Structure 1
């Protein structure tokens, strides 16, 4: 196991930068290939549906994250406990 003092901040930053650019470049190439395969109409419809799904997903993920963080911070007699505030409402969305 590597100690925290042995880790180079510059080296880790460079690795992360290379990884981000590699992911961006491969995503760009995949998007071009995907667009050529589907055609303009199907590709536009796909990305419109994808964008609407991402927009609709943001409030749900934010609410779930906030309720998880809030419930973990509550304490009862010094012990942390989890409130099931997100289980029943999210069950209602998917049933």
Structure 2
């Protein structure tokens, strides 16, 4: 099963969630739903180099995908999904750009 860390208030995350409705190959973990989920995500984000660019640009690094073999990616296409089209607006960044 592929874990997806995200938040229901993130447009990139909800775009991904729409694609996996009813698909038991994916597990969505909402990091805003419980502090336990947030801590689990932050532990991953703080120690995995895949997040380096996201942190530099002020992005949260969600949606984040963890494959069954432990591979971590921020690219929906790596797990058979599609990214939200750029024409739909910027992602949520700490600097206030996007949502």
Q: Tell me if both proteins adopt one fold, taking TM over 0.5 as the criterion.
A: no
**Taking CA–CA contacts closer than 8 Å with sequence separation of 6 or more, which of the two structures ends up with the larger relative contact order?**
2
Higher helix share: 1
Higher strand proportion, which one? Answer: 2
TM-score, normalised to structure 2, is 0.19
| Largest Rg, 1 or 2 | 1
